[in-house]
Chain A
Amino acid sequence: MVVTKKNIETKERPQKASKPTIKFEGVCKIYKGNFPALEDINLTICEGEFVSVVGHSGSGKSTLLKLIYAEELPTSGEVYFNENLLNQISKRNLPFHRRNIGTIFQDFKLLPKKNVFENVAYALEVAGILDEEINENVPQILDIVGLGDKMHKYPHQLSGGEQQRVVIARALVHAPTLIIADEPTGNLDPRSSLEIVDLLMKINDLGTTVILASHDKDIVDKVNRRVLVLDNGRVVADQIKGKYKSV
C-alpha cells in the first residue's frame, strides 16, 4: 500500500501501450453562468506516461486536472480513471479515489502548524495508516526527495523549492498511480524549478504516471515528452514528443 524506498527502486518501467489510466470522452465543462471552460475533450493517458499540459491561464488546464481528481464533475461527457467512471463518484468513494492520486500545487498547500514530518505523515493519518508504518515510511520518502535532514523544520523555515519537495513527498507517500502537478514551479526560481522537474521525471521513471500543467517553456522543453496544448478549452495540439508551442 505504502511506497517504501525499496519497492520504488524495484518497480520496472512500464511497457508502451499499457492500459489507460485516464480517458476523456467528449468532455465539456461549463461553470455556472460562464462560457465553457472545456469543450469536447477526447484524450487518453496511459500508465507510466509523462504528459505536460500547456496553455495560457484560463485555457482550461486546471479544470482538466480538477476533473481527474474529481474536484469538479463534467457538465457532459465521461471521465474515466483506471476504467472507473468518475461522473457519478459518490461522496463516500471520493476520498478513496483521492488516495490514488498525488496532487502538487503552485501554492504548496502545506499545513503551517505542522512540521515537515507531520505534514507528510498527515496524508497517511487521514487514511487510517498505523503509526508504526507512518514512522517507517515518512523518513524514507523524505530521503527520496532529499529532505531527510529537515524533518523537524516547519514550512516557514524552508525555501520554496524545499517546501515543494515536501509537497511531492506528501503526494508520493500513498504510492499513488498518478501524480498531478498544477503549475508546481509557478512560485519557484529557475534553479529550484529544474530540481522539481528532475524529481518529477525521476518519479515517472519509477513507474508513476505524471501530469504536469505549466506555462513555463523551459520546463516543458526540458521534460521533452508528450505535450498537450490547450487553448480556450480545446485541445489544439497533442504531440507524443514535443516542445512548448506557443499558440
Chain B
Amino acid sequence: MFLTISRTFKEALKNFTRNGWLSIATVSILTMSLFVISVFFVVTLAVDDVLQNVQERVNISIYFKSDVSVENINAAKADLEKFKEIKSVEYVSKEQALESFKNSSIAKPIIMQALDEIGGNPLWPSLAVKTTDSRQYELISEYVKKSNFSTDVSSVNYAQNKENIDKLNKIIITIRKIGIVLGLLFTIISLLVTFNAIRITIYTHKNEVEIMRLVGASNSFIRLPFIFEGVIYGILSSVVSMILLVISIKLINIYLPSVTLVSNLMSIYSGNFWSLLGGQILLGSLLGIIGSLIAMRKYLKV
C-alpha cells in the first residue's frame, strides 16, 4: 500500500513537471481562485473585528436628571437587567462621568476652564446598557420611554451608534455576498481548468495506460497518479496564494496606511495563518481531486 502510494506519487510529480506550461497555467488559475476566496475571508474577518469593537464600545446610555436619587436609578437598573437581551447594565455616577470626560480627548482646556467657572458638576448620572445584539437598541429605548421611571429619564442616546452599526452590518453582508458569488465563480473555473489539465495528461498517457493494464497494474495504480496530480495542483496553489496574500497586505499597509479597517489586516493574517493555509490546501486539493475524478470518469476507461 505504501509502495503503491510512493510509486504513484512519484509518477504524478513526473507528469506535473513534464506538462510544464499546462501545469503552470493550471496552478495560476487555481491560485487566483484561492486568492480571491481568501481575500474575502480576510476582509470579512477584518470588518467583523471592527464591528465587534464598535459594538463593545458603544451602548445605550440612559441619562437621568441630576436630581434623581441613586436608589431610583438602581431600581431602574434592576428592572432593565430582567431582559435576557441585555448583557450588562452599568451605573455611571455624575462624578465618574466627569472624570471620564476630563480624561477624554474632547476635553479642551477652554472647556475645562468653563467647567470650573460653573462650579459643581453639570453632568448627569447614567446607565450604560450593553445588549447581545445591536438590533435590540430601539426596543430598549422604547421600553425606557414607557417605563415607570420614564419621568426620571432626561434622554436616551443610541441613534448615532445605531447608524454606524447598521452601516457595518450592511458592509459585512455585502462583502459576504460578493465573496460567495466570486468564490463560486472561481471555484467553477478552477474545476474546469484542472479537469482540462488532467484530461490532457490522460490523453498523453493513453499508450502508457494501455501498457499498464497489460502488465497487470491495478486500477488504483493507474488512477492514483492523476488524483495526486490534482492534489499537487491544490497544494502548490494554496502556498502561492498565501504568499500573494501576505504581499498584498504589506502593499496595502504601505499605500493605504490611513484606512482604519486595514491596519489590523496583518494581525488577522498571522492570527489565522494555519487555518487560512489549511483551508486553502483542503479546498485546492478538493478541487484538484474532483477535477481529476471528472476527467477520469470521462476519459479513462479502466
**In the complex, which residues 79-131 of chain A have their Cβ closer than 8 Å to any Cβ of chain B?**
91-92, 95-99, 103, 109-111, 122-123, 125-128, 130
Q: Assess whether B68 is interfacial by the CB under 8 Å rule.
A: no
Q: State the Cβ distance, B291 to closest chain A Cβ, in Å.
A: 23
Chain B 95-112 near chain A by CB (<8 Å), digits 1 or 0: 000000000000000000
Asked if A24 is at the interface (CB within 8 A of a chain B CB), the reply is no
A91-B302, A109-B210, A111-B208 given; A126·B217 CB < 8 A? yes
Chain A residues, Cβ within 8 Å of B219: 91-92, 95
Distance, CA A128 to CA B215, complexed state (A):
12
Q: B-side binding surface: helix, strand, loop or mixed?
A: helix
Tell which of B3, B212, B302 touches A130, judged by Cβ atoms closer than 8 Å: B3
Q: Which residues of B contact A (CB under 8 A)?
A: 3-4, 7, 207-208, 210-219, 221, 302
- Of all chain B residues, which has the CB nearest A176? B216
Q: Which of A109, A126, A130 contacts B216 (CB 8 A)?
A: A126
B216 touches A99 (CB 8 A): yes
Check B216 against A123 for contact (C-beta < 8 Å).
yes
CA A109 to CA B206, docked complex, whole Å: 11
* Minimum CB distance partner of B2 in chain A: A128
Whether the pair A98, B216 counts as a contact (CB closer than 8 A) is: yes
Contact of A109 among B4, B214, B302 (CB under 8 A): B214
Q: Are A96 and B216 in contact (CB under 8 A)?
A: yes
Q: For residue B281, give the distance in angstroms from its CB to the closest CB of chain A.
A: 29
Q: A95-B218, A95-B219, A128-B4 given; name 17 further pairs at CB < 8 Å.
A: A91-B219, A92-B219, A95-B216, A98-B213, A99-B215, A103-B214, A109-B207, A109-B210, A110-B211, A111-B208, A122-B211, A125-B7, A126-B212, A126-B215, A130-B3, A170-B215, A174-B216
Contact of A126 with B3 in the complex, beta carbons under 8 Å: no
Give A92 to B217 CA distance when docked, in angstroms.
Answer: 11
Q: Chain A 122-163, CB within 8 Å of chain B: the 1/0 string?
A: 110111101000000000000000000000000000000000
Contacts of A109 in B (CB 8 A): 207, 210-211, 214
